[in-house]
Amino acid sequence: MDNKSLSLIMLAVYGVASSLVIADVYGQTNCTYSGRHVYTLSCEDTIPLNVSKDTKTVILTGFSTGMVLSNLTFQETWENITSLFIFSNNIQPVVFRTRCFTRLNNLKRLTISVNNPVFEKRVFHGLTSLERLTLFNIHLFSEKALFYSLNSSDFKQLRYLRLFRNKKTSSSGLELGDLFWKFIGAVLLKSLDISGMHVASFNLTSFNANCKRLNYLTMYDTRFTNVHMTVNDPSVQSCRKPRVLSSSTTIVEKIKIWCPGYKTYFKYGVDLGLTESLLFSGVNVVTIENMCSVNFNSLSITNFNFKSGPKLTFKWNITRLFLTANIFKGPCKGSIIASSTLLLLSLSNNGISYLCPDAISSIATLRYLHLSSNNLNAMNMMHKSTFERLFFTLRNMEIISLESNLLTRIPENIFLKNENLKKIDLSNNRISKVTFKIDHLKNLVELNLRKNIIFTLDGSAMTQLDNILNTQRR
């Protein structure tokens, strides 16, 4: 017998022996090995009692009649596996009993993707080597139930946590509150991925208090209904902001600002800054809602993406509002700020090419308006009449800045209703001629036209300036 024939016989014997081992040890024939060294075992609609000692990865799928996993499901021969994947697209529940994974002390990677998971307390007890955990449809649990399942003492080596949802599941949202973030703060987690999730509630204050070790927060295509934060939050300074990975479809519907301790009243005046250090800077934000009865000396908001224009709702007792270096896109509806005592509003450096009249028309208390470093010339060219009436309701305005807006001309009646104006800044534009009325502005003390292309003043402009000077001499 030649060597080739001998090899074929040995191969056939090996195949028969392997089949016999699978049928004998597992009691099921719908489990198959794959891979060059048969380290991966795939099973359909069943869980074998034992696996080969060389098995490193097990993939369990199906469960058409539902399944209950207990501490008897994975026997001693499972101890050597390092990766376990559990998949089920059926509506039948898959129940994970307390300590069902307790023998898998060498497991490093666990993925549970089932439509209807049921977790008992301390499900993950014994997974002392687990580094990567992926859970689908975890939003079906209350925050308290999730906390009882994710016990920090069971995850001594956990570095990566992914919480996903299947698109066919209900519209219920994930609660990421104080209990969840205390769990994150107690483990050695480096990366949290909540991409594709609907987050009903996100406690930003608790996140800041527990995010010291977190390096990455991934939230592609994530929708947040409510983000809760407090003013004068000391934990912001202690949290090193992780690298946030988001997409154009990541949306925050509402940021709610509370008094310290999530109360509704605070007796001291505060200065609040929502800047690039905030976790959600650069993400699409719809509304910022004030839940705190307090006097805001100032509020600064920078590096936000206001897809529908900025909107601050509920009553704001605020003196100065700085909305600078943001992105304003799309149409805007209603006022930027509701029921305010606002004196100063800065919308500088936002790239604004169209400012809705409704956005500022109801701020009757406004005295100082800064619109510098935008592109309002586009609005002047395409919506001249709207631009001309933009400031008509701001009768108490004393100072306005339109510096660096690429303006080529100013509409004749743009300041017609602003008789209290003291200072107009039109510097660094492309104005070649004074075409707007100013002789009715009896309180005007400064008209800044520096860095334009005005070489001469015609008779009408000279007359207006003379009238203003004569008024000031009286």
How is the chain split among helix, strand and coil, in percent rounded to 5?
Answer: 20, 30, 50
The tens digit of pLDDT for each residue in 243-281 reads 999 998 999 999 999 888 767 777 777 888 887 657 787
Nearest CA to 361 out of 327, 407, 399, 392 is that of 392
pTM of the predicted model as reported, rounded to 2 decimal places: 0.83
Pairwise pLDDT comparison (421 vs 240), residue with the higher score: 421
Percent of the chain with pLDDT over 70: 84
How many CB atoms sit inside 10 A of residue 171's CB? 7
Measured CA to CA, the distance from residue 392 to residue 363 in angstroms comes to: 11
Cβ contacts of 30 within 8 Å, gap of 6 or more: 43, 44, 45, 46
Map out the domains of the chain with their CATH numbers. 19-130 (3.80.10.10), 377-474 (3.80.10.10)
What's the average model confidence in pLDDT over 134-151? Answer: 80
User: Measured in Å, how far apart are the chain's first and last C-alpha atoms?
Assistant: 126
Cβ contacts of 356 within 8 Å, gap of 6 or more: 309, 331, 332, 333
What's the average model confidence in pLDDT over 417-432? Answer: 95
Least confident of 129-143, 179-193, 257-271: 257-271
Tell me: pLDDT of 308 over 80: no
Measured CA to CA, the distance from residue 327 to residue 310 in angstroms comes to: 9
What's the average model confidence in pLDDT over 70-82? Answer: 89
Query: What is the phi/psi pair of residue 149, to 5°?
Result: -80, -40
175 bridge partner residues? 201
* Helix or strand holding residue 364 (H, E): none
What pLDDT is recorded for position 435? 86
What pLDDT is recorded for position 282? 77
Measured CA to CA, the distance from residue 128 to residue 453 in angstroms comes to: 73
Most confident by average pLDDT, 22-36, 119-133, 220-234: 119-133
Least confident of 255-259, 284-288, 452-456: 452-456
Tell me: pLDDT of 429 over 50: yes
Tell me: pLDDT of 73 over 60: yes
Pull the structure tokens for residue 364: 């009757």
How many contiguous H segments (helices) and E segments (strands) does the chain have?
A: 9, 29
